[in-house]
C-alpha cells in the first residue's frame, strides 16, 4: 500500500509542480506587460468594489509573490506588491479576480458559502490525515477490525479534502469570470491585453484543478485498496 501511495503522491506532485511552473512563467510574463489604460491593480480593485456597491471591503498591499487573496472574515482584499502597484495585465487580472471573491461574498454565492462552511472540517482533516495513513499502513492486510476502521477513517479524511477541492473549482472559475467581465466592460484591458488576462487566470485556475484531481485520485486509490483487502479475505 505504501509503495502505491508514494507513486501516486509523486506523480500528482509532479503534475502540480508543472502547472505551478507554467503559472509562474505566465504571470511573470504578464507582470511585465503594461496596459494602455495605465490603471493599477489597487485602482482596479477599488473601482470594481465601487461598481458593485461594496463599501465595507478594504484593499491593502500584502507581501510576497502570488500571495493575493480575499479574506471573507476580515473583508480584506490583500494584493501582493507587483499586483497592488502594477499597471500590467497580470496586476489588473489578479486584482479583479480577488475582488470577484468579494462580490461572491456580498452576493452570498452558494459555493463560496459551502466552502467556508467546511473549512473547520478541512482543518481537522489536515491534522489527522497522516495519523490515519500511518494506522492504515501498519494494519493493511491484517484483516482486523482496527485495520478496517483505520482505512475508513483515512478514506473519510481524504474525502473531505477532495470535497473541498471540488467546491473550490466553481468558486475560482466564477471569480475569474466576474473579474474578466469587469475589466473588459470597463475598458481597462483591450485586445491582446484581455487575451493575456484570460490566459493568466486560466493557469491560476489550473492549479486548483490539479489539486482537485490529486485529491480525487488519492481517495479512489484508498477505496480500491480497501475493497481489494476485503475481497482477499
Active site residues: 98
Task: State the Cα–Cα distance between residues 188 and 174, nearest whole angstrom.
Answer: 19
Q: How many residues does the chain have?
A: 233
d(CA 199, CA 202): 5
Nearest-angstrom CA–CA distance, 227 and 104: 40
Give strand pairing partners of 77: 59, 70
**Parallel, antiparallel, or unpaired: how do β-strands 58-61 and 69-71 relate?**
unpaired
Q: What is the CA radius of gyration of the chain?
A: 21
78: helix, strand or coil? strand
Cβ(158)–Cβ(129) under 8 Å?
yes
Number of neighbouring beta carbons within 10 Å of residue 222: 25
Please give the backbone phi and psi of residue 35, each rounded to the nearest 5 degrees, phi first. -105, 150
Sort 210 into a burial class: Cβ within 10 Å, 0-12 / 13-18 / 19+.
Answer: buried
Residues 77 and 102 sit within 8 Å (Cβ to Cβ): yes
Amino acid at each position: 500500500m505504501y509503495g502505491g501511495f508514494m507513486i501516486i503522491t509523486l506523480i500528482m506532485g509532479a503534475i502540480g509542480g508543472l502547472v505551478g511552473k507554467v503559472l509562474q512563467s505566465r504571470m511573470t510574463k504578464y507582470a511585465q506587460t503594461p496596459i494602455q489604460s495605465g490603471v493599477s491593480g489597487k485602482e482596479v480593485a477599488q473601482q470594481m468594489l465601487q461598481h458593485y456597491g461594496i463599501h465595507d471591503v478594504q484593499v491593502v498591499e500584502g507581501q510576497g509573490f502570488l500571495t493575493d487573496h480575499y479574506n471573507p472574515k476580515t473583508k480584506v482584499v490583500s494584493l501582493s506588491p507587483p499586483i497592488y502597484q502594477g499597471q500590467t495585465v497580470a496586476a489588473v487580472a489578479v486584482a479583479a479576480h480577488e475582488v470577484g471573491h468579494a462580490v461572491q461574498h456580498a452576493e452570498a454565492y452558494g459555493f463560496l458559502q459551502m466552502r467556508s462552511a467546511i473549512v473547520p472540517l478541512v482543518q481537522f482533516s489536515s491534522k489527522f490525515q497522516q495519523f490515519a495513513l500511518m494506522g492504515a499502513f501498519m494494519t493493511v492486510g491484517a484483516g482486523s477490525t482496527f485495520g478496517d476502521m483505520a482505512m475508513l477513517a483515512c478514506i473519510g479524511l481524504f474525502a473531505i479534502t477532495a470535497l473541498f477541492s471540488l467546491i473550490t473549482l466553481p468558486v475560482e472559475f466564477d471569480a475569474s469570470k466576474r473579474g474578466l467581465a469587469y475589466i473588459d466592460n470597463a475598458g481597462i484591458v483591450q485586445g491582446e491585453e484581455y487575451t493575456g488576462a484570460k490566459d493568466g487566470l486560466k493557469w491560476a485556475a489550473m492549479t486548483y484543478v490539479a489539486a482537485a484531481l490529486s485529491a480525487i485520485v488519492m481517495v479512489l486509490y484508498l477505496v480500491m485498496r480497501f475493497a481489494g483487502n476485503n475481497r482477499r479475505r
